[in-house]
Structure 1
């Protein structure tokens, strides 16, 4: 195995490089590179570790011919073209928990700053004034905090707010009633939050759905005197509308750590009464910087060395504990997918992936990705587990996963049913004693076969002498047979044959086999 090589292209804790080297991975630290400089060298690397400065786009990824993983030390991945990464089979990881506490604490600090007008009071006092009556604050106790986004950071803010004796309401489309109870919040819709909250804090990523979630219309529907905090992402708030409502007094205060355009060296909000700003400090503590550097290095090293996938944004996560158990099933899934893909006559419309027995208890997402990677390989030699689901969506292939708790004839079974323009066909396989993948059913016909190397698939009428005719044809062509794998529906009816051969069968031999009496279909396969 070639030693993986990683580039760290943004400044981060030296702990990251230490971890890579301890794990036997080569690492270069080259920060501040321009786009052209990065393009010139990125082809050397298997991994790219970044923060927010490096912006891997499609051009960079086109040059990254060996790149397997991009690791973002932090939460936000707006600087990464994730569609381009997925299309090229590059895993994109982040570290969503390394700076959660730090960011949550910053939101709480901004809340106190607004409630007690701390920045203005500090500036006034240090200017030699003593304006006690000018800085009349409000208590947090008993006030209602509205969370827009109740994920990891939002839930930490909720916990801290309850410690301050605040009431917490939360809007999050993915928040369940049980989870709301667990974090001590009341689940509400956005209208309910806007009308009730004394303080609003945002903890959501920037997506097409969340962009401008606090636009002018929603800001105008907030409770008069509300105070708003954003330590999440720029672009969630209409900054011009926020300025107007601060100046009108409808909004009592706003504290932003993030802006629509950064670095925000100029902004219309600067100098507005009641406005507090910090330069994207949410994750800026010593502890957080070390934590995210350690996490991104560990995650990338695990992936490059063992295949374990943690906190990936464009492929199913597989823990280091799961990886050994899943590996043989994923090999089976790839082979079954490859078999179905090579035998599909025309466009695939629908795929059903069914798991029985022990397999049904495991993480099915990586298995599904492996099936799709195998199935699509005949039409793309660049497909892998990362980009296979992306390619399936591009081709409008409907993919379904089905789990069966029952155990059938085998301790575990994986069945792949493919619907094409020519009808529906299925293949099924299992693992034998030494975790060896084995085909056990082909198009409803029971048969046992190893799927390995070059093979011939033959559909034929079940007639005496047919096996001998195939063997003679291959023998005359100097092609040695490894195994004959046979199956039929009933005596004298349709039969199928999988023949493992030592060498690929050329077109002339294929043409000869097609002329044999009873042959319905012949196809050369490769595994």
Structure 2
């Protein structure tokens, strides 16, 4: 057996190389290589371990004749060209949980910095002043912490805040009531959180749904005197609006570790009274750096030696025998999950995956993972078919798989049923020509549609002229229609439509469609 060989291309804890060697993997440590230098030697390696400095792109991968896996010691993989890696069959892994405690502790540190004005008090005192009366802080005990995002890091922040005798209210579409009770926190909607929170801290990825989640409108809904912390991702807060509300005194303080543009060498927020900034230090502790180095080495060694896949961003856990058969079903599963995830607003408590006909004869675990990956993608851009079941379990979501060996109207059918506090809804699809994913049922209404690109979802009362009104509204906005897919329960009853369009659908246009007579719900979907 050929001994696999790994290149560590960025500065990393020595523990990584130690683990590779202990596992029988040959390893070279060569941090600081230029792109040309890396291209010149990468053909010798089966694995490439990086942090953020090295940027494996299509050129590097084209020269990497043997490369099987890229391991990112950390969460973000913006520096890795994942589509290029996928095209060449290279697995891309990250270590999503190695920085969790460190990031959570940094959020708590910034919370205290705001509560007691520590940076300003330090600067004043070291400047020879003694402005004791100027720095009147607030206690955190008994205050309400509003948590936007209650996943891995958010739940750690919640536990620390409870230890400080704070009250914790959380907004997270995938947080169940049961999981909230286990954490000792209260699950609330976003508006309630904004009105009640004395402190707000964000722990959610940046997605289309979370971008500017603290918009000007939402910032203005907050309690006067609120203090805001963001150690998650830049782009979650409207920074210009935050500046205005700090100046007005509505927001008493804000601490950002992340910015919309990084490195943030300049910002209108800099110098604003009550504002604290750190240069993306969430993961910057000795322990975190050691943890991610150990994890990436263990994951890469497992894959190179046994084929085991952990925390992969571009491939599911599938055996070699089943992979060709499952591939089209997994594409269907992810699209159905993504559809459900964009249409369901309440916290998901249970997901049931039902396979009928040919699919029932195959392994359902990868298919279920693909469903969950699609379902949670609207709120977590780092979710994938490998880590989705773990994330679902951590959120308290119950997962069920059901097989029906009989064939129904289709030779194979996949049904995804999602239960929330608001009720139960299901979507179903099949494969056309054994390869092409196709929606065939939406919320119990028969409808055939290809789920791709940007789509408009409308739920309405079945009335004459309604289809024309929607088409006319889109036309006036300059939005071109690709396909119009319709379904209804009966004459004059509930009707749904899925309209594929060639342009993005703006919020003002959605509101205009929402005001049409008979509309019950409207959403912009992306596949």
TM-score by length of 1: 0.63
After superposition, residues 200-349 of structure 1 pair within 5 angstroms as 200-317=200-317, 330-334=319-323
Could you say if the C-alpha distance between residues 386 and 153 of structure 1 is closer, same or farther in structure 2, counting changes exceeding 3 Å?
A: closer
| Separation in 2, partners of 1:12, 1:28 | 12
| Separation in 2, partners of 1:21, 1:32 | 22
- Work out whether 1:86 is the aligned partner of 2:86: yes
| Separation in 2, partners of 1:247, 1:164 | 29
| Separation in 2, partners of 1:59, 1:12 | 24
Deviation at 1:285, TM superposition (A): 1.4
| Separation in 2, partners of 1:305, 1:77 | 24
Could you say if the C-alpha distance between residues 254 and 67 of structure 1 is closer, same or farther in structure 2, counting changes exceeding 3 Å?
A: same
8 Å CA contact retained: 1:140, 1:164: yes
Could you say if the C-alpha distance between residues 41 and 75 of structure 1 is closer, same or farther in structure 2, counting changes exceeding 3 Å?
A: same
After superposition, residues 81-230 of structure 1 pair within 5 angstroms as 81-230=81-230
| Separation in 2, partners of 1:118, 1:419 | 60
8 Å CA contact retained: 1:311, 1:317: no
The residue matched to 2:133 in structure 1 has which SS? helix
The residue matched to 1:178 in structure 2 has which SS? helix
In structure 1, the gaps of 5 or more residues are 319-329, 341-349, 370-384, 388-400, 407-414, 425-527
The residue matched to 1:133 in structure 2 has which SS? coil
The residue matched to 2:254 in structure 1 has which SS? strand
Could you say if the C-alpha distance between residues 152 and 192 of structure 1 is closer, same or farther in structure 2, counting changes exceeding 3 Å?
A: same
Indicate the structure (1 or 2) with the bigger Cα radius of gyration: 1
| Separation in 2, partners of 1:35, 1:294 | 25
| Separation in 1, partners of 2:54, 2:290 | 19
| Separation in 2, partners of 1:149, 1:422 | 39
Over aligned residue pairs, what C-alpha RMSD do you find?
3.4
User: Residues 117-161 of structure 1: CA distance to partner in whole angstroms, max 9, x if unpaired?
Assistant: 011111111222111110000111111111111111100000011
Deviation at 1:190, TM superposition (A): 1.8
8 Å CA contact retained: 1:206, 1:236: yes
| Separation in 1, partners of 2:282, 2:358 | 43
After superposition, residues 475-486 of structure 1 pair within 5 angstroms as none
The residue matched to 1:33 in structure 2 has which SS? coil
The residue matched to 1:132 in structure 2 has which SS? coil
| Separation in 2, partners of 1:92, 1:301 | 13
Question: 2:339 aligns to what?
Answer: none
| Separation in 2, partners of 1:232, 1:368 | 25
After superposition, residues 366-385 of structure 1 pair within 5 angstroms as none
Question: 1:390 aligns to what?
Answer: none
8 Å CA contact retained: 1:116, 1:137: yes
Deviation at 1:232, TM superposition (A): 1.2
Question: 2:31 aligns to what?
Answer: 31
8 Å CA contact retained: 1:333, 1:368: no
User: Residues 278-331 of structure 1: CA distance to partner in whole angstroms, max 9, x if unpaired?
Assistant: 12211111111111110110011101111111122222358xxxxxxxxxxx35
Could you say if the C-alpha distance between residues 209 and 29 of structure 1 is closer, same or farther in structure 2, counting changes exceeding 3 Å?
A: farther
Greater CA deviation, 241-250 or 40-49? 40-49
Question: 2:455 aligns to what?
Answer: none
Deviation at 1:223, TM superposition (A): 1.8
The residue matched to 1:146 in structure 2 has which SS? strand
8 Å CA contact retained: 1:143, 1:167: yes
| Separation in 2, partners of 1:137, 1:192 | 25
TM-score by length of 2: 0.63
Question: 2:342 aligns to what?
Answer: none
Q: How many residues align?
A: 365
8 Å CA contact retained: 1:353, 1:368: no
8 Å CA contact retained: 1:337, 1:416: no
User: Residues 350-373 of structure 1: CA distance to partner in whole angstroms, max 9, x if unpaired?
Assistant: 9966456xx86x84459999xxxx
Could you say if the C-alpha distance between residues 135 and 59 of structure 1 is closer, same or farther in structure 2, counting changes exceeding 3 Å?
A: same
In structure 2, the gaps of 5 or more residues are 330-354, 372-383, 387-399, 406-411, 415-429, 437-527
| Separation in 2, partners of 1:206, 1:336 | 34
8 Å CA contact retained: 1:146, 1:198: yes
The residue matched to 2:7 in structure 1 has which SS? strand
| Separation in 2, partners of 1:226, 1:367 | 39
Could you say if the C-alpha distance between residues 299 and 366 of structure 1 is closer, same or farther in structure 2, counting changes exceeding 3 Å?
A: farther
